[in-house]
Amino acid sequence: MLKKLFDNIALTFKLKIFVKVCAGTFLIFNGFMLSSTFILWVIFFYVFKNAPDTGLAYSAGGKLLGIYGTFSAICTAIIIPRIVWLSKKLGKQKAFFITIPISIIGFAMKWPAYLHVHPANSKLWQMLSGTGFINFVKVCGFLAKEHWLLLACAPFIVFGLGSIFTIFLSMLADICDIDELETGERREGMFTAVYWWMVKMGLAIAGLLGGAMLTWTGFKQDLGIGQATNTLLWMRLFDVCIPIVASIIAIFVIMTIHDSEEDAHKVREQLEARRGKA
């Protein structure tokens, strides 16, 4: 039984298109996760480096990150259906070659967004000392207005992550058809298990590598807003450049897939002719 399991896993990796889809997912998803390692500290200790103390930098940064995360979630709900529509209209690969460059624009926009460093004389620091829900809303509104360019990055970046879990997963269904045509077996479970195992393994690697890279920059949490200039520069570079480079490599990987939408339809027709419609 165990031998058959490993034989089936090995068979999945013999299918080149599956390996390429896994590679594309690995690059885009983990490029984003590595970037996430740094955005936290860049906002706390660079964007709000002029805070009167580290505690206020944490308070302002935490609220801004919360606003950014909430806005990203809203953008995701709006954009995912658009990605699906684009995929149906143009085909999966062509849609991918549109959505990923859009996400690259979003990551690149973070660089000028980070250049808007909050001033030391801002009224924000006094506002943060207030309490109550009304004050909280005012602070969040003030932060959203001041750092609108950072929020504007979110809808662009969502196109990249959205492509993984729409375009790539739909390509996985086509891969199962190709595999069934070649082997005579339907193995969605095996392909799905191997695919998500690869995603989780990549997530673990990204966490390990991100921590190592953060240490390499010279980051010391106990310094708070007193981080070295070079440390902050490297953190910003890693945050912006890693997902861009990973996405560009992913584009070239997916470009080597020569199976078109027409090919996928032909495979489906051959399967249905052989075993009937599922």
Residue 196 has pLDDT above 70, yes or no: yes
Q: Rounded mean pLDDT of 198-223?
A: 87
Q: pLDDT of 33-45, one tens digit each?
A: 888 889 989 999 9
From the centroid of its chain, how far is CA 218? 25
Q: pLDDT of 151-191, one tens digit each?
A: 999 999 999 888 888 888 888 878 877 777 777 677 777 77
Please state the domain extents for the chain: 30-270
DSSP assignment of 148-163 equals: HHHHHHHHHHHHHHHH
* Fold type of domain 30-270: Growth Hormone; Chain: A; (1.20.1250)
Residue 14 has pLDDT above 90, yes or no: no
Q: What is the DSSP letter of 117?
A: P
Contacts of 77 (CB under 8 A, 6+ apart): none
Q: What pTM was estimated for this model as a whole? A: 0.89
Contacts of 156 (CB under 8 A, 6+ apart): 102, 103, 105, 106, 107, 109
3-class SS shares of the chain: helix, strand, coil, % to 5 = 85, 0, 15
Q: Rounded mean pLDDT of 6-30?
A: 80
Question: At residue 125, what are phi and psi to the nearest 5 degrees?
Answer: -65, -35
